Structure 1
Amino acid sequence: MFQDILEFLRSFGPLGLFIHSFADAVIFPIPAFFLQVSLSIVHPKDALWLATYGFIGCLLGTPLGYAIGKLLGKSVLYKILKKQWIDAATNLFQKNGEAAILIGSFTPIPFKVFTILSGCLNFPLWRLMAYAALGRATKFYVVGILFYLYGNAAEGMVKDVSLYIALIAVPLILIGLYFKRRHKRKKMLQQQQAEAVPSAKPVEKPVLEQVTDQSPSA
């Protein structure tokens, strides 16, 4: 059935990829990557346009996937996807939601897992959109650029593109998170130290000096 759906979407070219990418962020279990590669093999010179259609479709579908998670909860994921994908994504989210979305954009785990989980776990929608835009743009355009530059020869290159992107991106993400947490801890420490320092109070004169000051001068 899914193969028939893919063939149907392929017949629409870039529009089919747009629809597939939109559905990929919402509920469709097959990643849009497969249709992007299939269309790019046939039209390598249009690979960048295909990447753009896929990227925009994914971004427009992201809020809908988020709303599904918000309204229906995680149970909907177990009905349409493998439990191991959901458990892996949940584990990433519990450690760091931001890293989960970025890393999830590069992995073979369907992206809808992260959009729906974001809604389930009340992750801010604007952050989801920002990190989804960064991560998905990277994957769509890396595939598009390879086909545009190398034509059909890129078919062998993109088989492990998720792995290659992850090998480069994940260390950068982890380094960024390290410095972000370090800056946050430093800021909290400075705030705690500022709160611990008592506010300066005016020094009161001894009672004898106060009386002396109030007495009339000779």
Structure 2
Amino acid sequence: MLRRTYNWTLRRASDRHAFLWLALLSFSEASFFPIPTEAMLVPMVIARRDQAWRMAGLATLASIIGALFGYAIGYYLYDSIGGWLINIYGLEGKARSFQDWYARYGAIVILVKGLTPIPFKLVTIASGFARYSIPSFLAAATISRGLRFFIVAGLLRRYGPPIAQFIEKRLTLVASTCLLLVLGGFAMVKFL
């Protein structure tokens, strides 16, 4: 099943709608969907290394638009959709503590959490819920997401073939590590 999913992703990464798939995943990952953008960005850059910067730019732009959507969920719809999404991830108690963090650390919270495996949608929804300054939110989100996606794309552009071979040979290890990072991100938010 893992190999089929990986092959499906590689096919999507190299088909004519790849950029649309990437934009949709980046948008939804920043606002409500649990799968990280790198699940599409990595195979796309491996398949088309000459387009790495364009892909990273698109992922960043779509993620920022998705972040605004997540912010709106937290700002306008927290009592219905926002709270429901936070509860799905089992983090209902943590969203309110984010307000204290934002009061003290603001942009640093967004910058750090945008670079870590902590699901970014939690940051965007919590930012809206905390009524954090939209210009500051956008600046910090753009920096953190841009750094994350451009670093991934740059490393894959430069070292793509050996990384692709490593992934091909050790797909279960790579997938398990990625899953552990995502679960670790959720755990960090829940227990820290």
TM-score with structure 2 length normalisation? 0.69
> Which of 72, 77, 89 matches 1:72?
77
How many residue pairs get aligned? The number is 158
Aligned to 1:111: 120
Cα distance change of structure 1 residues 151 and 130 upon mapping to structure 2, 3 Å threshold:
same
How much does 1:45 deviate?
2.3
Deviations 1:46-82 (A, max 9, x none): 2222111101101112211111001222513324424
Higher-Rg member (1/2): 1
Residue 57 of structure 1: aligned partner: 62
Q: Which runs of 5+ in 2 are unaligned?
A: 168-173, 182-192
Task: Mark the CA change 1:86 to 1:22 in structure 2 (over 3 Å): closer, same or farther.
Answer: farther
Cα distance in structure 2, aligned partners of 1:106 and 1:39: 20
Q: Is contact 1:9–1:17 with CA below 8 Å preserved after alignment?
A: no
1:143 paired residue number: 152
Gaps of 5+ in 1: 164-218
CA contact (8 A) 2:53 2:154 kept: yes
Residue 29, structure 1, aligned to residue 34, structure 2? yes
- In 2, Cα distance between equivalents of 1:9 and 1:23: 17
2:115 partner SS: coil
Q: Distance in 1 between matches of 2:65 and 2:71?
A: 11
Is the counterpart of residue 83 in structure 1 residue 91 in structure 2? yes
Give 2:143's match in structure 1, choosing from 134, 140, 153.
Answer: 134
CA RMSD of aligned residues (A): 3.3
Q: Which has the higher contact order (CA 8 A, sep 6+)?
A: 2
Tell me which residue corresponds to 2:44.
39
Q: Per the alignment, in what secondary structure is the counterpart of residue 61 of structure 2?
A: helix
Q: Answer yes or no: is the 8 Å Cα contact 2:114–2:145 preserved in 1.
A: yes
Letter in 2 for 1:22: F
Q: Is the 8 A contact 1:68 1:119 kept in 2?
A: yes
Which amino acid letter does the alignment assign opposite residue 89 of structure 2?
Answer: L
The answer to whether the 8 Å contact 1:45/1:151 transfers is no
Q: 1:15·1:53 contact (CA, 8 Å) conserved in 2? A: no
SS at match of 1:25: helix
The Cα shift of 1:137 comes to: 0.7
Q: Does structure 2 retain, via aligned residues, the 8 Å contact 1:146–1:154?
A: no
Relative to structure 1, is the Cα distance of residues 94 and 35 closer, same or farther in structure 2, using a 3 angstrom cutoff? Answer: farther
For 1:48, the equivalent position in structure 2 comes to 53
